[in-house]
Amino acid sequence: GAGVSQSPSNKVTEKGKDVELRCDPISGHTALYWYRQRLGQGLEFLIYFQGNSAPDKSGLPSDRFSAERTGESVSTLTIQRTQQEDSAVYLCASSLLAGAGANVLTFGAGSRLTVL
Amino acid sequence: GEDVEQSLFLSVREGDSSVINCTYTDSSSTYLYWYKQEPGAGLQLLTYIFSNMDMKQDQRLTVLLNKKDKHLSLRIADTQTGDSAIYFCAESSSAGAGSYQLTFGKGTKLSVIP
C-alpha cells in the first residue's frame, strides 16, 4: 500500500482480555518494527523483523507480548491477559533496508490501546 | 544503554524561529534523525544527518550537529501554526546488531502562538 496501515485505530478492553493489533507495512519494505508510546514518553522499542531472519524480540516487556510476521507482509502484535500498564499507543513502522545507510522508518498512525 | 534527551516543551510566537535541542550518549551514533508527530498521527521523518556532517539545511529546517558534545538541534525558521507538533530526536548506530534500531527521545512539544 501507499503507507503503513494499522488496525484497529482504537481498542478499549477489560483487564485480563487478550488483544491483537495488526500492521500492514509498505509493500517491498523488508524491515518491520513495533514500538510502544506511553503517554508523555518516548518510543519504546518492542520487536524487529527483517526478511526471513529471526526477529529481535529484545524489547518485548514480558512473555504476555508476542508478535508474528508472515514473510515480508502483515504483522500482528498480541498482548495476552492485558494489564492497565499496557495502555499505550502501539506504533508500527517499516523500512526498505535496515543496517546500511540511514534507516528511514515510515510509521503508521498507531493503535491506541486502553485497558480498563 | 544509549540515551537521547530532549526538553519536553517549547513555545514560540508565529514568525519567530524555533530551536529544539537534543543530546545523546552513544558515541557510535552514525545517523541522527528528526521526526514530527502531529496529533493522532504516526511519526513523520523530517530530516536526518550523517554523523560526519556539521550542518544540513532543507528549506525552513536547519540541523546542527556537534559530535564532540553529542548535541543535535533543529531550527525551524519562520515558525507557523502548522508546525505545532511533537518533535522527536532519534539516533542509530553502526554498532553491530543495533544498527537497525533507532533510539528515540521523549519528544519536544512545540506550541506556536498566533
The cell numbers describing B83, all together, are 508546525
Residue window 43-102, chain A: list those with CB within 8 Å of chain B: 43, 45, 48, 50, 56, 91, 93, 98-99, 101-102
Q: Which of B33, B40, B48 sits opposite A109 (nearest CB)?
A: B40
Question: Which residue intervals of A1-116 are DSSP H helices?
Answer: none
Split at pLDDT 50, 70, 90, the class of A39 is: confident
Per-residue confidence (pLDDT) for residue A41, from 0 to 100 = 79
CA distance B113 to B50: 32
Contacts of B114 (CB under 8 A, 6+ apart): B14, B81
Biggest distance spanned by C-alpha atoms of chain A: 43
Paired residues of A56 in beta bridges: A48
Q: Is A7 on the interface with B (CB under 8 A)?
A: no
Residue of B nearest to A94 (CA): B100
Per-residue confidence (pLDDT) for residue B95, from 0 to 100 = 54
Q: What percent of chain A has pLDDT over 70?
A: 96
Whether B40 sits inside 8 A of A98 (CB atoms) is: no
Whether A98 sits inside 8 A of B99 (CB atoms) is: yes
Question: CB of B107 within 8 A of CB of B8?
Answer: yes
- Return the SS3 of A72: coil
Split at pLDDT 50, 70, 90, the class of B13 is: very high
Which of A16-20, A53-57, B95-99 shows the lowest per-residue confidence on average (mean pLDDT)?
A: B95-99
DSSP secondary structure string, B29-46?
EEEEEEEEE-TTS-EEEE
pLDDT beyond 90 at B46: yes
List, for residues B77-112, the tens digit of each pLDDT value: 999 999 999 999 999 876 554 557 788 999 999 999
Please give the average per-residue pLDDT across A77-94, as a whole number: 97
